[in-house]
Amino acid sequence: MFPELPGWEPDTTGFTGAGIGSAAALEAYFMNFVATKMVDTTAPPAGDSKLPSGYVYFGQFIDHDLTLDTTPLSEAELDPNRLHNFRTPRLDLDCIYGQGPDAQPYLYDKAAPGCFRIGEIAGTPFKDLPRAAGQDTALIGDPRNDENAIVAQLHLAFLLAHNTLVKAAVKKGMSSRKAFEAARKTLRRLYQWIIWHDYMARICDPSVHKRALRKDRDAGNGRTSWELGYEDVYDWKNNPFMPLEFSVAAYRFGHSLVRNGYQTNFAKGVGVFTPTFKFNAEDLRGFRALHPDRVVQWDWFLRMSSSVRPTFPQVARKFDGVLANALRELPEDPDKPGDNTKILNVLAARNLVRGVRMQLPSAIEVAKLLDIPVIRINEDEREALWYYILREAEFDAQVEGSTLTVGGAGDRLGTLGSIIVAATFAGLLKGDPLSFFNLEPGWTPDKDELLDSVEVDLTAAGQPGLNADEQVNGRKWGLPTIIRLSGLPVDAAPFRPAPVPVPEPVVEPAAPPTE
């Protein structure tokens, strides 16, 4: 994004293997930095944001979709000086569809052409990802989406939402092949809509979000078009690329939002928290069959009409410069000074080291280049781009030399973080020639025939519609729409024990009449 700025490195004098450029010293420096500045000692609810927790894992789902593309690099991208800056990302649900039913038929249901395979949780009405017989391996387009139980169930929601749309298309008389294509088209467009109009509206500064991608309703000849507002920040020539400032720094804000544990569903219990990472059978780690205790009751994770506020939905930790204790330590721990993998046991240190090794510029220099006020924090906290963006988001940070404030107050990204994230997402959506922003810029979900058909069917069945749930600033068609499309459990009803039938009273037969 900012090729004119040099990469930043800390002064590691005094640390093991001292000297700028020393791997061991760099790791020691950031391990100390994390230990002194990024330890979570805040007990809920003081460390809460207003963001429903489901969006934390939706952000992870999006990240996997962006980094899935395996298109071979062009000759230009093979330039070693630019290799790490270039990807060919698309927000097109490749993590769901893989290479399609012809190339990856094992993802799809032979008994229901055009639909995905869906797993079952034995003895319950609940669904799971499809898994290999006798194994826990999920048969999905991107195995990373099975790494924790919450993102796995988001993946499941998209599988089921697709199947719902296929059935609606078949009902309209389409062949299974055409129904598949129609459902994929609608779901991709709805996904892109939700990313920009729901997810980005929640995590970015409102003024930045409004400017980053603007709808021009009169682009000549009465046509609608979408225009970029930050081309000076994220400017691609032929194909969109993945900027390091985004992938290595700004979009890693989600690591500060993860909670140590979550209440999963009514059957498990109100007030009973399942740990996020405890490395035992009770936690939310994935890569295994879904247990009923880990089935998500979605009105506890997203703001839905049945959410019992203020307890639900559960919200993310606030945007800040510390990580949940659950993420501080990972199982890798070779414990060898200077070993490249030693740093893997602390997520925050790993992120900071990666930023230096990828030659990210100083945060303060990026802020000055973009003419953004620099927040008033300690000198040693102003350089690492990822950490600075987290601190900027933490509070309404007072800027140097004035009474102005800039920041997210713990509820969203601040100005610098918002610009990098919003500019990148806007550029990716506008840069994809197959996104609805280009193919059909006037498209809206309420004009989509398949979504309208599903809405009619839900209404006829007396069920909540696709927009039964209140969205940010009154907007419709958000992430809860995917849950409604999927049919996954929204409220406590599916988790309540089945009523025990009351036996009919035994009636003594009448005595025979006496003569």
Q: What is the pLDDT of residue 221?
A: 67
Q: What's the DSSP call for residue 491?
A: S
Q: What is the pLDDT of residue 392?
A: 95
Q: Please, what is the angle between helix 23-37 and helix 347-357, to 10°?
A: 130
> Cα 375 from chain centroid?
27
What is the dihedral angle through the alpha carbons of 9, 13, 14, 17, rounded to the nearest 10 degrees?
80
Mean pLDDT of 242-260: 93
User: pTM of the entire structure?
Assistant: 0.90
Residues 29-55 as b/e (b if ≥16 CB within 10 A, e otherwise) read: bbbebbeeebebeeeeeebbbebbbbb
Q: What is the pLDDT of residue 283?
A: 93
Q: What is the pLDDT of residue 73?
A: 31
What residue type is 85 in one-letter code?
Answer: N
Tens digit of each residue's pLDDT (9 = 90 or more) over 39-74: 876 666 558 999 999 999 999 999 999 975 444 333
Residues 114 and 183: their CA atoms lie apart, in Å, by 9
Asked if residues 87 and 67 have their Cβ atoms less than 8 Å apart, the reply is yes
Residues 63 and 234: their CA atoms lie apart, in Å, by 18
Mean pLDDT of 226-241: 86
Q: Does an H or E element contain 274, and which?
A: strand 274-275
Closest CA to 329 of 346, 352, 351: 346
Q: What percent of the chain has pLDDT over 70?
A: 84
Lowest mean pLDDT among 99-108, 239-248, 285-294: 239-248
Identify each DSSP E strand in 92-205 by its residue range: 119-120, 127-128
Q: What is the pLDDT of residue 370?
A: 95
Encoding tokens for residue 280? 């035992």
Contacts with 82 (C-beta within 8 Å, 6 or more apart), sequence order: 76
Contacts with 361 (C-beta within 8 Å, 6 or more apart), sequence order: 2, 5, 6, 7, 8, 245, 385
Mapped onto helix, strand or coil, the DSSP state of residue 394 is helix
Which residues are 399's β-sheet partners? 375
Residues 367 and 347: their CA atoms lie apart, in Å, by 25
- Please report which residue ranges of 38-175 form alpha helices under DSSP H: 54-66, 94-97, 149-171
* Selected residue with higher pLDDT from 505 and 331: 505
Tens digit of each residue's pLDDT (9 = 90 or more) over 281-299: 889 999 999 999 999 999 9
Tens digit of each residue's pLDDT (9 = 90 or more) over 104-149: 999 999 999 999 999 999 999 999 999 998 889 999 999 999 999 9
Closest CA to 140 of 108, 177, 110: 108
What residue type is 400 in one-letter code?
Answer: E
Apex 271 CA angle, 278 and 52, nearest 5: 80
Q: How many CB atoms lie within 10 A of CB 78?
A: 11
pLDDT at 239 over 80: no
Residues 162 and 184: their CA atoms lie apart, in Å, by 7
